[in-house]
Copies of this chain bind each other. A is one copy, B any other.
Amino acid sequence: MSELRNDRLLRALLREPVDATPVWMMRQAGRYLPEYRATREKAGDFMTLCKTPELACEVTLQPVDRLGVDAAILFSDILTVPDAMGLGLYFEEGEGPRFRRPVRSRREVETLPLPDPERELGYVMDAVRTIRRELAGRVPLIGFSGSPWTLATYMVEGGSAKNFALAKGMMFDRPATMHALLDKLARAVTDYLNAQIAAGAQAVMIFDTWGGVLAPDDYLEFSLAYMQRIVEGLAREAEGRRVPVILFTKGGGQWLDAMAETGCDALGLDWTTDIGEARRRVGDRVALQGNLDPCVLYASPETIRKKVAKVLESYGPGSGHVFNLGHGIHPTVDPDHAAAMIEAVHELSRPFHQ
């Protein structure tokens, strides 16, 4: 493997000194980039884009090339694991993801196969290897997975949900069935992330997109406990370096203390939490990633610069901060505005690292 020339991300995630705050954006390989839309067009449909390693590599590298972000993140879908379990993932135009075979009964949970990542998810591992080769050490590559609870909501609902009536119904009335499903998913996600690490992912992130719709007790029992189990099962070293693990629960600002106790290296924050306040709460247990309101990128470059400065000042001096948006970049954002944010982070953060 090529030597890593920009290791700001890995250093910041481990709270080691850096020259400037590293920055990347959730969904940075996405529709706001004309070059992404061109590759997507070429692929024909979204799943072909995910399942063709060369194309997944192409879009993964686009924001690195254009914007100078300090990390690449594997381009993939969060629902690859349930798809590999045989649920039949498909996308209906403007409808979001759907599964042909939702999982609702105890029997359906018990007969779910545990995928072999190099076989059923080989296209993801091939993408990781291709991206690492093409990155050639420019920036590190982040691997990722959806959290067990987040995957379970889609698997039980059969797609996106408004109120999570079915998933929560199972959780409330048949908790043993939900736990059996989450247990299987935790094992599958652990295998999946370990395979990504073996293939070349240099950090991994667990996206708990729907943990924030739970009441506190339910969050601890049905989401966080399974993320903790994954953290405990991950290979934490590869190529002679520690592989940092980032947990992100959207809407999880009230539960940072519990999240910091899981053994992960960093927490992702959405924009509803003050990052300075979060830093005081988590102390030196974990690094923090975030957390500009993604809508700030609709504002003028001058406003973007001011808002970047505010987040940097709120975090304060010293390492342990990875700058990011508080959620994925919106598809209608002007790429030049994203560039203004990246530039502002690199420039304005230097005084905090002297």
Residues of A whose CB lies within 8 Å of any CB of B are 163-165, 168-169, 172-173, 212-219, 251, 253-254, 271-274, 277, 293-296, 298-300, 303, 307, 310, 326, 330, 332
Copies assembled? 2
In the complex, the chain B residue whose C-beta lies closest to that of A276 is B216
Q: For A307, give its contact among B163, B172, B271, B272 (CB under 8 Å).
A: B172
On whether the beta carbons of A172 and B254 are closer than 8 Å, the reply is: no
What's the minimum C-beta distance from A32 to chain B, rounded to whole angstroms?
A: 12
CB of A144, distance to nearest CB on chain B (Å): 22
| Smallest CB-CB A-B distances: 10 pairs | A172-B299, A168-B295, A169-B298, A216-B274, A215-B271, A173-B299, A215-B293, A172-B303, A165-B298, A253-B254
Complex contact B299–A169 (CB within 8 A): yes
Q: How far is the CA of A165 from the CA of B293 in the complex (A)?
A: 11
> How many Å from the CB of A45 to the closest CB on chain B?
23
Besides the known contacts A173-B299, A214-B293, 12 further A-B residue pairs in the complex with CB atoms under 8 A apart: A163-B294, A165-B298, A168-B298, A169-B295, A172-B295, A173-B300, A173-B303, A215-B293, A215-B326, A216-B277, A251-B272, A253-B253
Please state if B303 and A272 are interface contacts (CB–CB under 8 Å): no
Complex contacts, A277 vs chain B, CB 8 Å: 216
The smallest beta-carbon distance between A3 and chain B, in angstroms, is: 38
Cα A303 to Cα B170 in complex, Å, equals 11
Closest B residue to A162 using CB positions = B330
From the candidates B163, B254, B271, name the one contacting A295 in the complex (CB within 8 A).
B163
A172 to B251, CA, bound (A): 22
Which B residues lie within 8 Å of A214 (CB)?
272, 293
Question: Which B residues touch A213, using CB under 8 A?
Answer: 272
Supposing A254-B253, A330-B163 touch, asked if A293 and B218 sit within 8 A by C-beta, the answer is yes
